[in-house]
Each structure stands twice: as structure tokens, then as C-alpha cells.
Amino acid sequence: MPDYRAPVRDQRFIINDVLNVQQHGNLPGFADAPEDIVDAILEEGAKFAENVLHPLNRIGDHEGCQLQPDGEVKVPTGFDDAYRQLTEGGWTALSADPKYGGQGLPHYLNLAFNEMVTSSNMAFGMYPGLTGGAVHALAVGGTDDQKELYLPKMISGEWSGTMNLTEPHCGTDLGMLRTKAVPNGDGSYKISGQKIWISAGEHPMSKNIIHLVLARIEGAPEGVKGISLFVVPKFLPDGNGEPGERNGVRCGGLEEKMGIHGNSTCVMNYDEAKGWLVGDEHKGLRIMFVMMNQARLGVGLQGLALAETAYQYSLAFAKDRIQGRSLTGPKNPDQPADPIIVHPDVRRMLMDQKVFVEAGRAFTLWTALQGDLEHVAEDEETKTKAGDFMALLTPIVKAYLTDKGYDSVSKGLQIHGGSGFTREWGIEQLLRDARITLIYEGTNGIQALDLVGRKLAMNGMRPINSFFAELDAFVAENQSSEMKPFADGVAYSKERLQKATNWLVEKGLENFDNAGAASTDYLHLFGLTCFAWMWGKMAKASLAKIADGSDEPIYATKLVTGRYFLERWLPDADAHLARIESGAETMMTLDAERF
Amino acid sequence: MPDYRAPVRDQRFIINDVLNVQQHGNLPGFADAPEDIVDAILEEGAKFAENVLHPLNRIGDHEGCQLQPDGEVKVPTGFDDAYRQLTEGGWTALSADPKYGGQGLPHYLNLAFNEMVTSSNMAFGMYPGLTGGAVHALAVGGTDDQKELYLPKMISGEWSGTMNLTEPHCGTDLGMLRTKAVPNGDGSYKISGQKIWISAGEHPMSKNIIHLVLARIEGAPEGVKGISLFVVPKFLPDGNGEPGERNGVRCGGLEEKMGIHGNSTCVMNYDEAKGWLVGDEHKGLRIMFVMMNQARLGVGLQGLALAETAYQYSLAFAKDRIQGRSLTGPKNPDQPADPIIVHPDVRRMLMDQKVFVEAGRAFTLWTALQGDLEHVAEDEETKTKAGDFMALLTPIVKAYLTDKGYDSVSKGLQIHGGSGFTREWGIEQLLRDARITLIYEGTNGIQALDLVGRKLAMNGMRPINSFFAELDAFVAENQSSEMKPFADGVAYSKERLQKATNWLVEKGLENFDNAGAASTDYLHLFGLTCFAWMWGKMAKASLAKIADGSDEPIYATKLVTGRYFLERWLPDADAHLARIESGAETMMTLDAERF
């Protein structure tokens, strides 16, 4: 397995030069993260990911998790110690609320760290990742008492968390869920039912596991309007807030999966487990969706993170493996063959990988920054716009980055040739791990439906119009001869997205199936447009650095990679538009038995 | 794991209505396969695949193969018995030469059977598949004595075969191979060296294993001009042609792979193993390439076959799994939710799968028929044209069907949602198995290079011009109102392929890197054009049946599926052309250390 090196240089380029986060230096959190602090955090995070987590990635895949006869789950060798280092290093508290022991740093910084964690060991990263989601749900929906009881220990990592939605007969369609909650009369409830695919559901690394569980209170309305959220700790906190009596929730089995073997994916059986309502009765989905939206950004990040590792593996392979001669004459005449990076078709795959990881990184960091601004910006206009962008772009971050991320990992495997199919080189694990990201936290098809069915029309189409205005402004501002190709790329893609949007508004309302039939292509066209914009922003920042006299090669390289994006990625925009405009009719013609 | 049902109805449609194979009923082999015989063979083959092979598919994946301390390899439970049934049923002899015990039936029929074998159990199918390749090499390059000694037993399946090309330091670039052959002075050679990734290299199912091995005779020229082909039996045949003394070739290890666990992928160590030259000294590659071309068609077929199984699994899931409501109102009001096949985005994936498997099946059967005609047609013109098509289209069958086949399996997995990621449903195995098809027998990038670097220019561009003429004729002949959309689709795609071809001829000669940079998109544009043609042919055959008064639903369904192809697949043609015409410059700009 080759090394993983955290892409700190590229992260710094995006944070400092593209996003210029220091312009927000007066805002809460940002004030504590001047450039030298950011650099130090990235450097320390890189060491932890490279030296502690990455060496455990293959072990996690090979050993997997094992359910013990007593219902406890054994995690792979070394995970326990790595988890201890993670929490002792304060990493789980990086962007958490200082009121509960967090460091209160901006979320974009946490995202940069999470990219490294996920690249080096996705299965491990899911343990603290799920806790982060649970913390978020409690912060949004919990009472002050609940927050004081749970948040400090969860933020420090002493306790961990999970989210429990799926049941055997329902995943996407939560309206059908059956897990029951019966009031005990003392404000607590008895929770009974079965949940499946619960990531990090059971493991020995934290002293307690705090399950957030969707259930239906006896007598609640049918469907999604009768679902409540409960907090159900593995050990009931005693009077001192320490883990006490064992609660009636147990891991009933581990899923046999295609990948992420290092994460324990549990069947969780609730047998009159004691739980407490989080938020109002029957309003559980609302909180769960807040948490889910954050989790979706995290899954999009996984798409990027695994593609980065795959890129590093395949780049190392392509420089090292000698096979055949360059089409334009030997490049390595002293050796029996040239390294395969000289072959155009190998470069094509490497350039596609490079385009993806760099734009994906810019896109995720930009989105995380919007998340920060939504909460801490000084003026309402900035807050509103940032919130609109977050809502609009969350399904795109999730689905576009995982669809394209998976393709990117697959290209990395392809560069390895036969070696890619063997376990020895590590890349096939990345492909197996990556495959889940297209599915969980709402399949990518569900993301596309969320985009066309909800996000587009939100607030009288304010978010999409605001997004278009941003692109138009970018195009107008960047008409210099050097920037023109990039501005043209944005305009080209935006024009097609605008047409597709108009088509959707007209035809989607006429027949909802038109919206459904167009949804995935629309999401991809949207993602492509975001990438065009990100490449425009990166080109602009690079040109500014070059104009300032910098000769660091990263800037010239960015311009080449951006040009490759314009030449090789943008042409897909027309194909997406043509598919969208073909509508639902043919797609929906056949009866089920005619397939 | 759902059932697998062999697509006999669709195969019959293609064989009878689209290809009208009975028009060749006077030719050798075809004369023995009138329609009722073809039907009977397909029906019997279907039973064998469905009832014997498919139930072993998951067992093969779970158990895998094990290397025993004595160097023998244990295959999964049931494989031995299935192999016995395969050979006793005469299936391995279906299209083999009657002179050596074969049944001499046309190859298209063997291909139809092989699709079923591969769909039901790819890892199993590779054992007889490799033997078929070895038989072909001996038939092409062997002496009469060699043929008499080996072919009857290999055709009956009593003995099996392998092909040994790859060494640890060379796969694509065979010029570097090091395995040595030293003459014994009696016409035999001592073969020494290590070969890797040898499929079916060692197993107990046949009484002998006949290895075909590339090696370099002592003192031979360097590079590809000094490579010879040898036949190296596991057991040296005795005076009666029965397995005798154990030869010095042993399995040194099994590869740990991502998929096809049921097939033994071996490191083979040759330690002064006795072997005999096949064909002339230093001319081994020529024979190996004959065999390889056949193997490439077989790999393309695997792409189709796994996509078919995935389609069946995901279709069953989509009809059975209820989740959410149709966007246009409940379709299943008595149940708490509708089956997910009502959702447009699920249908999109199913229709994409259906488009692929039906066009892929037509394309592979059409290609196999060209292979038959190349050898048995009565006139030279037909033979030449068929041979040209085979040469031109082999890389496209291999790479397009495996690239798109893999995507298709991945869509099948996606339809399963979270279930797709668990081992229980069988689909994740198909994805893991399918991933190798993009790699072995020459990676898909190598296929693309073979197409643009060799096949295009062959015989003064006779094959490509002949192909274009065929498309033009199809367009001209099909201008009725019902056929016009399909003819237009062929014309549209052909025009772009023609432009791309012209670009390649001009710019590819100017700078070979342009050809390399364009190669994969060119191959995909070519594959898309072949599919447009196949859909045109299938539409034509369906319309003829409908005009004849048939109301079998398959015909109307074909027209809908073909229309879906035109609407949703063809738009990619422009994107491919744009990428091709962007050339190599940007792709080749960066120095290796700038990645």
C-alpha cells in the first residue's frame, strides 16, 4: 500500500488564495484562526492522518469487526488506540461549541481535517463522524439539560453517537417506520423495534454510545407526521452523569458488506430501551433532517477524500511502473521501458482524477465556509445567501461528489492494470469502500429528487436565482484575456443549466414524472456548473499570484488543469441538457411486466 | 440471491429475426442447426445455467479457491460436479472442429450458450473458457501431431488449458518477458520462469492441464521479435496419450483478488518444465494474438453477461421493494407504498440496463456470426468483409461492452439501495466480478490504442470504410416513417464518428499523442455508433413482425427501448467528438512531478 500524504498545500491554496478566509477574521471563530494557526492545525492533522490512521486502513479492511457472544463488537487492531489519540488530541472538539467544551473554530477547518481522516481511513473516520451528527441533532433539538448531560462528553469523544433511521422494510420512505415508543409516565419512554445499517452502532472505543432513534409514540398519526426523535444511551447516565445501568439496546448482528469493513454496521435491537424525547412529539424528522443535511455534506466529502487517496496511489504507480514506450519516442532510454505516465490514455485518467479532487476540494471547503457564514456573518444578507446556498447545494455536494468520486477511484484502479484487481495494492479497497457513498444518507437518486422537487422551488426560487446571479457576476468580472476562457466556461455551463431549470419549472409542474426523469441529469449538470465556477475561482487566484511575482509551480499547474477541465469535462453539459429535455414519456411507457 | 433466467426469448429474437441466421442454412455448421435445433440447444443450455451453475455462484464467491500444501488447488464446493456435467453434456464441444470430436455447430450458438454460463457463474465459466482459447491456439499453430494429441481431450473437457503471458514486471509490454526456453536437443525445451495472474492455472476438475506459455528461446532476439509459444502439459502425455509423469510446473500461490473468487488465479512457476514449440521459433506472439482476439470477444461477452444478471436482480428488486409513492399518485393503493419501479429515476436506471443488455446481446451475436462467415462463407467478398469487421470491432466489443457493462452492473447495485452494499443480495458480487473485465486480455486503454493505432489504418482503411458503407446503406434503406428516427440515429452517430476518424487520420499522424489522447473517446463513440446500428436493426425486425400481424409484446417493447436509446444515449456522441478534437496538448503539458 503506497503512502498517503495529506494535500495541505492545496488546502492552503484554497483556504487562503481562493476563499481568502482571513477577510472574515473579525467573525467569531475566525478570529481564533489566523493563517499561522490554520497552518499549524493542518500540519498536525496531516501527521495524525498519515502516521496513525492510514497504516490502519488495510488492517481495518482485512480484520473487519466481529460480534462477540456477549453482544459487544470487536473493532480492528489499533482502532482503539487511534481513537484515544484522536480524542486526546482534541480533534473531535475542533469546531464544537465552546459552551460545551468545544474549541469553536470555523467548520471549514474541521472539514479540511475530516478530508484527511477520511482519505487515510474512511471506516475509522465514520466513528467520530457519526458522533458529530448526533451532537448536531442534540444541539438543535435537545433541552438544556440534555445538552449539558450529553454534549460535553460527546464533544470530547468520551462518549460516541449514532443515528437510527432505517428499518428492514423502510429506508427512504420513513413514513412506514414501526419502532414504538411507549411513555413511562416519568418523561421517559420505552423504545422497542429493530433498526438496521446502524454505522458505529456498537464498539468498545467510547465509554458510552448515545443512540438517536426515530420512533413512533403509541397512538401517533400514521406516516411521516407521527415520527419522534429519542435519545437512547447504551448505558443510562447515573446521578453524576456517568455511565450506569445497561439499557435495553443491543447489537443483534453485523452486516456483511462490500466495504468499510473497519466500521461496525449493526442491526440494533431495541427491547423496551429507555429513551427521552428530543424536541417535540411527532416532530422528530425535522431535527433528523438538520442532522442529515450535515451528514450529507460529510458523505460528499467522502467521495472527494477517497478519490484523493486513489489519485495518490495511481499517480505513484504511474510514475513507478515501466511498460511500453512513449508514442513520441523513448522518454527513459536507459531503462527497458518508460513509466506509464508518458502514455496519453494513462494521463487522461490522471488528469481526470486531478480535475476532480482539486475542484471537489474547493467545492467542499467553499460549502463549509457558507455553513460558517450562515451562522456567524454580521449582516442578514450574507447569512441568508449563505443559508440559501447551503440548502441548494447540499444534494449536489452529496451526489455529484460521490458519483464522480467513485468514477475517479475506478479510474485510479484502472491505471493499476491487473495489480488494481489484487488486494495487495490497496486500490480495490478504496473502490469497495467508495461504493456505499452513492447510497447512504439518501441515495443519489433521492438527492436529485430533493434538488428538483424541493430545493429549486424553495422561497420562491430565491436560492437558485441567487446562485445564477453569483455566476453572472463572476462572468462579468472576469473578462480579461487570461480569465476569459474560464468565464466563458462558466457562462456556457450556466446557460445550459438555466435552460434546464426553465424546462423543469414548465414541464415538471405539468407532469411530476418529468421532474423525476430529469433529476439525475439536472443534478449532474448543476455539479458540472459548480465545478466550472470553482475552476474559474482557482484560475483567478492563481493568475493573481503569478501577477504578484510568485513562481511556485502550483499556480501554473492550476491553469493547465483548469484548461483540461474546460476541454474535457464541459462538453458533457449539452448531453445532460438533451437528456433532460427528452422528458419522461419514453421512460415511463413500459408496464412493469414488459421489462 | 434472486433467480437467473436465461434470456432465451431475446436470443431467439436476435438469432432468428434480426440476424436471420437461417439464410446461411446451406453453409457448413449452419446446415446442422435449423431453427428447432437452435431452440433445443438454447433451452437445454438455459436449464444447465439456471439450475446447475447459478446456485454455485455465491458459493464460489464465499469459499474461493485454496492452495493446498501439495501445490494442488481446491475449487469451491460443487464446481467439480458442475464441470463433470458440463463436459458430459458435450457443451465444451459445441462449436469445435468435428475432426477432433467437436460438434461443428456455428460459433454464434456457442456464444449464446457462453452468455448463459457467464451470467450464471462467471468464475466457473472461465475454466472452460480458457480451454477454448488454448484449443484455438493449438488449432492455429500446432503441428498435426500436437493437434491429435491434445485437441480431442481438450475439446471433450477431459483436459483443460490455460494461457501464460504475464510476468511480474510485464503485462502489456510483452517485449520484456524473461521466461526462458532451453532446447533439450530432442525437439523439446526446458521452460523456466514465473508467470502471474494465470486464470484456471491449477485445479482438480480436469485430468490434465495444458499450459500455453510464452517464453524466449536462449539466444533469441530481444523484444517482441524473440518470443515463442510453447505447450507445457501439467502431466506429460505417455505413449498412449494419457497423463504420465508430473511436469515441472507448479502453482506457487493464488492471487488475493477483488472478485471472481471461484476461479483459481495462479502464480505459475516453471522450473525446467518440459515443453514443445507451437508454431515457428520467435513467432509465438502471432499465434497468441489469434487466441487473444478470441479471448477479447469472450471478455466483452462477460461485460454483457454480468450486466444481464444485474439487470435481472435489480428488476426483481424494483418490482418487489415498496417504498414511497409514485409522483403522479399511488399505483398500489392497497399497500403502504408503491414498488420502486414506479419512480422515474429507478426506471431510468432500469431502462439504461435494458438498452445495454439488448444491444450488447445483438452486438456480440452479430460479431460471432461474422466470425462464422469469415470461415465458412461461400464467396471471398463475404469472407473478407466479415474478417475486416471482426478485426475492426474486436477492441470495441471488448472495451465498450465491459466499460458500459460495469456501469450497468453499478446501476443495478444502486437500484438496491443499502441492500446493494450487503453481500446478501448478490449484486455486490457481480460488481466485484465485473471489475476485472475492464482490465484483463489487454486493458480497455490498450483496446482503444489497438483500434486507433492498428485497426483503423489496416489494409488501407478498408475495414472502417466498409463499416461506414454498411451504415450508409442501412440509413438509405430505412427511410420509412417508422424507421426514420432509427435511421437518423445511425446517421447522426456515424457523422460524428466519420468526423472523428478524419480528425484522427490528420492529427494522429501529425502527433501520435493526439491519437493516444483521443483513443478512449473514439472507442466509445464507435461503440455508441454500433449500438445505434443494432437498435436500428432490432427496430426493423420488430416492425416487420408487427407488420406481419404478430402481437407478441416483445416487438412493441423493443421499439420503446430503442427510442429510449435514441433519446438518452445518443447525446453523448457530441461530447465524445468535442473531447477527441481537443487533442493532446493540454493533457501532455504537465511534467510528471507537477501532478
Contact B215, B187 (CB under 8 A): no
Closest to A123 (Cα-Cα) out of A73, A171, A76: A76
Predicted confidence (pLDDT) at residue B150 exceeds the cutoff of 80: yes
Amino acid at A235: F
Chain centroid offset of residue B276 CA: 29
What is the distance in angstroms between the Cα of B151 and the nearest Cα belonging to chain A?
30
Confidence band of B512 (pLDDT split at 50, 70, 90)? very high
Q: What are phi and psi of A293, to 5 degrees?
A: -60, -40
CB contact set of B23 (below 8 Å; sequence gap of 6+)? none
Q: What is the pLDDT of residues A410-465, one digit of tens each?
A: 999 999 999 999 999 999 999 999 999 999 999 999 999 999 999 999 999 999 99
State the count of interchain CB pairs (< 8 A) between A and B: 234
- Decide if B173 and A324 are in contact by the 8 Å CB cutoff: yes
- Chain A nearest CA to B572, separation (Å): 6
Contact between residue A299 and residue A402 where contact means Cβ atoms under 8 Å apart: yes
Tens digits of residue pLDDT in A41-95: 999 999 999 999 999 999 999 999 999 999 999 999 999 999 999 999 999 999 9
Cell of B350: 432500469
- Tens digit of pLDDT for each residue in A80-139? 999 999 999 999 999 999 999 999 999 999 999 999 999 999 999 999 999 999 999 999
Are A447 and A398 in contact by the 8 Å Cβ rule? The answer is: yes
> What integer pLDDT is reported at residue A290 of this predicted model?
85
CB contact under 8 A, A435 and B417: no
Smallest Cβ–Cβ distance between A323 and the set B173, B432, B438 belongs to B173
Cβ of B435 within 8 Å of Cβ of A431? The answer is: yes
Catalytic option among A158, A441, A506, A510: A441
Instruction: State residue B293's pLDDT score.
Output: 87
pLDDT of the residue at B449: 97
Q: Do B341 and A595 touch (CB under 8 A)?
A: yes
pLDDT, position A443: 97
- Contact list, B172 vs chain A (CB under 8 Å): 323-324, 417
Cβ within 8 Å, pair B445-A346:
yes
Chain B residue with minimum CA distance to A414:
B439
Judge whether A567 counts as a catalytic residue.
Answer: no
| Contact at CB, A414 and B344, closer than 8 angstroms | no
Q: Which of B420, B438, B582 shows the shortest C-beta gap to A567? A: B582
Give mean pLDDT, residues B47-60.
98
Query: Residue B168: pLDDT above 80?
Result: yes
Query: Cα–Cα distance between A124 and A111 in angstroms, integer?
Result: 16
Tell me the C-alpha distance between B312 and A13, whole Å: 48
Q: Is the pLDDT of residue A517 over 80?
A: yes
User: How many Å lie between the alpha carbon of A44 and the closest alpha carbon of chain B?
Assistant: 24
Q: How far apart are CA B113 and CA B301, in angstroms?
A: 11
The tens digit of pLDDT for each residue in A234-258 reads 999 999 999 999 999 999 999 999 9
Which chain B residues contact residue A175 at CB under 8 A?
336-337
Query: What pairing do the DSSP bridges indicate for beta strands A180-183 and A228-233?
Result: unpaired
**pLDDT recorded at residue A486:** 98
Give the residue among A574, A468, A489, A589 at the shortest CA–CA distance from A536.
Answer: A489
Q: Closest CB to A520: pick one of B315, B345, B595.
A: B345
- The total number of residues shown for chain B amounts to 595
Cα angle for residues A5, A47, B590 (degrees, 5° grid): 20
* pLDDT given for residue B75 in this prediction: 98
**C-alpha to C-alpha distance for A575 and B461, rounded to whole angstroms:** 30
Give the pTM: 0.98
Query: Does any CB of chain A come closer than 8 Å to the CB of residue B58?
Result: no
CA distances to B50, B87, B120, B126 from B55, in Å: 8, 18, 8, 17
Residue spans of the domains in chain A: they are 455-589
**Minimal-distance CA residue of chain B relative to A446:** B345
What does the pLDDT read at residue A139? 96
Chain B residues whose CB is inside 8 A of the A410 CB are 435
Mean pLDDT of B566-589: 98
Give, for A101, the enclosing helix (H) or strand (E).
none
| pLDDT(A291) > 90 | no
Chain B: closest CA distance from residue A185 (Å): 31
* Residue B528 pLDDT class (50, 70, 90 cuts): very high
β-bridge mates for residue B278, sequence order: B229
Q: What mean pLDDT is predicted for residues A172-178?
A: 92
Residue B552 DSSP label: -
Q: Which pLDDT value is given to residue A289?
A: 87
